Structure 1
Amino acid sequence: MQIYISGSLAFDRIMTFPDKFSNHILPDKIHILNVSFLVDGLVERFGGTAGNIAYNLSLLGEKSTILSQVGKDFGPYDERLQHYGIALDGIRTIEQEFTAGCYITTDMSDNQINGFNPGAMKYPSQYDMTRIDPSDAMGLIAPGNVNDMVDHPRYYRENGIPYIFDPGQQIPALGGDNLKKAINGAEILIVNDYELEMVMKSTGMSKEDIVGQVGYLITTLGEKGSMVSCKDGDTTIGVVPAREVLDPTGAGDAFRAGLLKGLSMGKTVAESCKLGATCATYAVEFKGTQEHTFTLEEFTERYESVFGPLT
């Protein structure tokens, strides 16, 4: 199965402030805020929804094609993706822009001040979707460029290509009408429990309405696992215990990669979510969204310790 991942590619630039923001922000002067924080240094990590999912898929032995957009500074990320065998022909380069970047400053109390520059993500990927073979493909639309999140589900639906819709943090930007169109006909809608409430509020649909329009609704529940909902009812999927939880960021993208891996193996959605749960636990054990690694043997052993034989 050919896997196409629409979503963002971004640099996460992380800084640590060796003090507390509260010691330098005067509450009575918040209306004229002017502060400068001297940080310990800067760490650059690779991220973005499409990049994270494709990276985890590569660890699972699956190749994928990213449909996204990047800027003039993409070189190091480009080399990394090539190293992991990820197809780059769906990535559009916008020479006058920088690749999307998240600038994160964290203080000693784990408070954060973030800035996000969408950069090249302001532009659609413009991938020639007719290159996709409908008989052997699946698409996943993750948060990224809003035009892609509207256009790609429509193309998949009109051409009989199964797709997973993952609106995430772009729910407000998409709006109710676009959400309804993308959800209707999706093989899977995947959200966390908070995002599900946002989707229902934005579209005016109930959970039952949503389940009636998709093959499956997957709701991730953090440390409580996930739930698969369909017309036959709900199925709860457990978690794979982490050895140590260092950073939950990226766990959702890792879960989606495990889900795709299971579907490519011909497993049911519920069974595929178990692979997702296993993949997610590796992500939370490291700081950063692409810092973890594992072999297929290690992955299988960990899966089977919780869910039984993986066949």
Structure 2
Amino acid sequence: MQIYVFGSLAFDRIMTFPGRFSDHILPDKIHILNVCFVGNGLEERFGGTAGNIAYSLSLLGEKPVIVSTAGHRDFGRYGERFAGYGLRLDGVRLVDEALTASCHITTDLADNQITCFNPGAMGYPCGYDFADADPAQDIAIVAPGNHEDTIALPRRFREMGMRYIFDPGQNITALPGEKLLEAITGSWALISNDYELEMILRATDLSLEQLLTRTGSIITTLGDKGSIIREQNRVTEIPAASVTRVADPTGAGDAFRSGLLKGLAMGRELPEAAKIGACCATWCVAQTGTQEHVFTEDEFWEHYRKNFGPTA
């Protein structure tokens, strides 16, 4: 079974400000704000929803097709790294007119953040044709990325008869309610955290029960409280896996999706696949950054057995 991962590819550029933003912002001059913060160092990390999901899948022994867009001028280092993991990049459209999406984050000593996001190449649709896909066997995930593709790809998958998981995430506020509902309708599953689920319900003006008639299942992640899987005839609560260290929760949701997709690729039922996702998330939170965790497959499955017992 081939896994297709649609979403963003981005560089995360992170700085720390050795002070507090509030000490340098004058409330009575907020209407003419003009402030420069000098940060300590600059860290650059690889990110983006498609990149994060594909990365953890590669650690789990999968070679998904990344479907995304990136800048021709600056994607080289990112592409070389992923090629080293054996990941397929033929689904990545390289755009000459723009740089790869980037997120610039500065955090002060009070954990306040100022973030500037440049969508860059993410503003262009991927243009991938899925000519090699086997709709009867393959599965796709539509994670946050180009807005046009977020609507167009679910349509394409429905026409092909291919299973897809819809993961609107940060795109929820950018999509009209009717477009959001269109993409959800016919999906094999809808995945979000509990806050995002509430946003979806408000945007579509549907109850949870009504939304469940539009998709095969609703997967809701709850952070350290685990996740809930709602299907037509059952509700399953999945506990979180144990963690030895929490350094940074950023990217844990994408890692969960990687484990979930790995379980589905193994032919596991959705609840067991979600347990695999829960284990994968723990590796991510133990490191700072969304693609900094490393594990072998043996280490991963030993961690799974300690939390949930032997796999089926």
Q: TM-score, normalised by structure 1?
A: 0.98
Partner SS state of residue 213, structure 2: helix
Structure 1 residue 129 displacement after superposition: 2.5
Match of 2:271 in 1: 270
Q: Distance in 1 between matches of 2:234 and 2:135?
A: 29
- 2:283 counterpart SS class: helix
Task: Look up the match of 1:80.
Answer: 81
Identity of aligned residues (%): 58
- Residue of structure 1 equivalent to 2:125: 124
1:240-279 superposed matches below 5 A: 240-279=241-280
Cα RMSD between the aligned structures?
0.9
Residue 31 of structure 1 is matched in structure 2 by: 31
Alignment deviations for residues 63-91 of structure 1 (CA, whole Å, 9 cap, x no partner): 10011000121111010110111100010
Query: What are the within-5 Å matches in structure 2 for residues 156-175 of structure 1?
Result: 156-175=157-176
Report SS of the residue matched to 2:175.
Answer: helix
Tell me the distance in 1 between the aligned counterparts of 2:88 and 2:261: 16
Note the alpha carbon deviations across 1:35-86, whole angstroms, 9 max, x for none: 1111111000000000000000000001100110001211110101101111
How many corresponding residue pairs? 311
CA displacement at 1:266 relative to structure 2: 0.6
Instruction: Say which SS state the counterpart of residue 290 (structure 1) adopts.
Output: coil
Letter paired with 1:30: I
Runs of 5+ consecutive residues of structure 1 not aligned to the other structure: none
Q: Whole-Å Cα distance in 2 between the matches of residues 246 and 89 of structure 1?
A: 34
**Alignment map for 1:226-305 (pairs within 5 Å):** 226-305=227-306
> Does the alignment pair 1:17 with 2:14?
no
- CA distance, structure 2, for counterparts of residue 216 and residue 68 of structure 1: 25
CA contact (8 A) 1:7 1:67 kept: yes
AA aligned to 2:221 is T
Q: Distance in 1 between matches of 2:161 and 2:270?
A: 19
1:6/1:67 contact within 8 Å kept: yes
Distance apart, 1:241 and its partner CA: 1.8
Tell me if the contact between 1:129 and 1:155 (Cα under 8 Å) persists in the aligned partners: no
Paired with 1:217 and 1:93, the residues of 2 have a C-alpha distance of: 33
In structure 2, what is the equivalent of residue 151 of structure 1?
152
SS in 1 for 2:4: strand
Is 1:43 equivalent to 2:43 in the alignment? yes
Q: How far apart are the structure 1 equivalents of 2:60 and 2:284? A: 13
Separation in 1, partners of 2:214, 2:299: 37
Does the 8 Å CA contact 1:9/1:49 hold for their aligned counterparts? Answer: yes
Task: Tell me the SS of whatever aligns to 1:197.
Answer: helix
- Secondary structure of the 1:131 match is coil
Structure 1: which amino acid aligns with 2:17?
A: F
Write the letter of the residue equivalent to 1:68: S
**Aligned position for 1:69:** 69
> What is the CA distance between 1:310 and its match in structure 2?
2.0
Deviates more, 1:67-76 or 1:128-137: 128-137
Q: Could you tell me which residue of structure 2 aligns to residue 309 of structure 1?
A: 310
Deviation digits for residues 147-193 of structure 1 (CA, Å, limit 9, x no counterpart): 11111111111111001000001011121111111111111100100
Kindly state the Cα deviation for residue 136 of structure 1 after the two structures are TM-superposed: 2.5
Q: Moved runs in structure 1, 4+ residues, more than 3 A?
A: none
| Contact 1:218–1:227 under 8 Å retained in 2 | yes
C-alpha separation between the residues in 1 aligned to 2:271 and 2:311? 13
Output the CA distance in 2 between the equivalents of 1:129 and 1:57. 20
User: 2:79 is paired with a residue of what secondary structure?
Assistant: helix
Q: Structure 2: any 5+ residue segments left out of the alignment?
A: none
**Alpha-carbon contact 1:257-1:279 (below 8 Å) kept:** yes
In 2, Cα distance between the equivalents of 1:297 and 1:130? 34
